[in-house]
Amino acid sequence: MCGIIGVTGDTDALPLILGALHRLEYRGYDSAGVALVVDGEIWRERVADGKHSVAALAARTTAEPPPPGHAAGIGHTRWATHGHPTAENAHPHLDCTGRLAIIHNGIIENHAALRAELVAAGHVMTSATDTEVVAHLIEGHMAAGLSLAEATRAALGAVRGAFSIAVAHADEPETIVAARRSTPLVLGLRDGVALLASDIPALLGHADQLFSLGDDELAVLTPGHITVTTLAGLPVVPEPLQITWDLEAAQKDGYEDFMSKEMHEQPRAVANTLLDRRGADGRLALDEMRLTPDELRRIDKVFIVACGSSYHSAVVAKYAIEHWVKLPTEVDIASEFRYRDPVLTERTLCVGVSQSGETLDTSMAMKEASRLGAKVLVVSNVVDSSMARAADGVIYTRAGLEVGVASTKCHLAQIVALEILGLTLAQIHGTLTPGEIAGILDEMDRLPELVEQALQRSVEVDDVAGKLTKARDFFFLGRHVGYPMALEGALKLKELAYLRAEGYPAGELKHGPIALIEKGTVVVGIATRNRLWEKMLSNIAEVHSRGATVVLVADDGDEEAAAVADHVLWVPPCPPLLSPVVGVVPLQQLAYRLARLHGHDVDRPRNLAKTVTVE
Residues assigned a catalytic role: 2, 610
Smallest gap from Cβ 408 to ligand F6R, in A, equals 8
Among positions 83, 308, 400, 572, the unique one binding ligand F6R when judged by CB under 6 A: 308
| Spatial separation of the C-alpha atoms in residues 477 and 47, rounded to whole Å | 49
Q: Which residue number, 149 or 269, has a Cβ lying nearer to ligand F6R? A: 269
Backbone angles phi, psi at 133, to 5 degrees: -60, -30
Q: Are 315 and 483 contacting, i.e. CB atoms less than 8 angstroms apart? A: yes
Q: Which residue is nearest to ligand F6R (CB)?
A: 308
Smallest gap from Cβ 313 to ligand F6R, in A, equals 9
The 8-class DSSP code of residue 56 comes to H
Residues in 288-307 at the binding interface with ligand F6R, rule: CB under 6 A: 307
Among positions 77, 164, 260, 362, the unique one binding ligand F6R when judged by CB under 6 A: 362
Q: Which residue number, 406 or 582, has a Cβ lying nearer to ligand F6R? A: 406
Among positions 273, 310, 424, 528, the unique one binding ligand F6R when judged by CB under 6 A: 310
Q: What is the three-state SS of 115-139?
A: HHHHHHCCCCCCCCCCCHHHHHHHH
Secondary structure class of 532 (helix, strand, coil): coil
User: What is the secondary structure of 414-425 as a DSSP string?
Assistant: HHHHHHHHHHHH
Q: Which residue number, 307 or 344, has a Cβ lying nearer to ligand F6R? A: 307
Binding mask 576-615 for ligand F6R (x = CB under 6 A): -----------------------------------xx---
**By CB under 6 A, is residue 198 in contact with ligand F6R?**
no
Smallest gap from Cβ 414 to ligand F6R, in A, equals 8
| List of residues 6+ apart from 241 with CB closer than 8 A | 186, 200, 210, 211, 212
How are beta strands 522-526 and 549-555 bridged, if at all? parallel
Amino acid at 236: V
Q: Are 187 and 238 contacting, i.e. CB atoms less than 8 angstroms apart? A: yes
Among positions 329, 359, 530, 588, the unique one binding ligand F6R when judged by CB under 6 A: 359
Q: Are 475 and 513 contacting, i.e. CB atoms less than 8 angstroms apart? A: yes
**By CB under 6 A, is residue 356 in contact with ligand F6R?**
yes
| Spatial separation of the C-alpha atoms in residues 381 and 555, rounded to whole Å | 30
Secondary structure class of 136 (helix, strand, coil): helix
Question: In Å, what is the CA distance from 292 to each residue of 317, 318, 329, 392, 426?
Answer: 21, 22, 20, 10, 14
Q: Give the range of 4-12, 103-111, 322-330, 349-357 binding ligand F6R by CB under 6 A.
A: 349-357
Q: Which residue number, 407 or 427, has a Cβ lying nearer to ligand F6R? A: 407
Smallest gap from Cβ 612 to ligand F6R, in A, equals 5
Smallest gap from Cβ 309 to ligand F6R, in A, equals 4
- Could you give the angle at which helices 482-497 and 579-597 cross, rounded to 10 degrees? 20
Q: Which residue number, 533 or 592, has a Cβ lying nearer to ligand F6R? A: 592
Q: Which residue number, 127 or 356, has a Cβ lying nearer to ligand F6R? A: 356
Binding mask 478-517 for ligand F6R (x = CB under 6 A): -------------x---x----------------------
Amino acid at 5: I
Q: Report the candidate in 559, 580, 317 with the shortest Cα–Cα distance to residue 450.
A: 580
**By CB under 6 A, is residue 313 in contact with ligand F6R?**
no
Smallest gap from Cβ 365 to ligand F6R, in A, equals 11
| Spatial separation of the C-alpha atoms in residues 404 and 488, rounded to whole Å | 16
Among positions 198, 354, 427, 549, the unique one binding ligand F6R when judged by CB under 6 A: 354
Q: Report the candidate in 277, 314, 276 with the shortest Cα–Cα distance to residue 427.
A: 277
**By CB under 6 A, is residue 427 in contact with ligand F6R?**
no
Q: Which residues bind ligand F6R (CB under 6 A)?
A: 307-310, 354-356, 359, 362, 406-407, 491, 495, 611-612
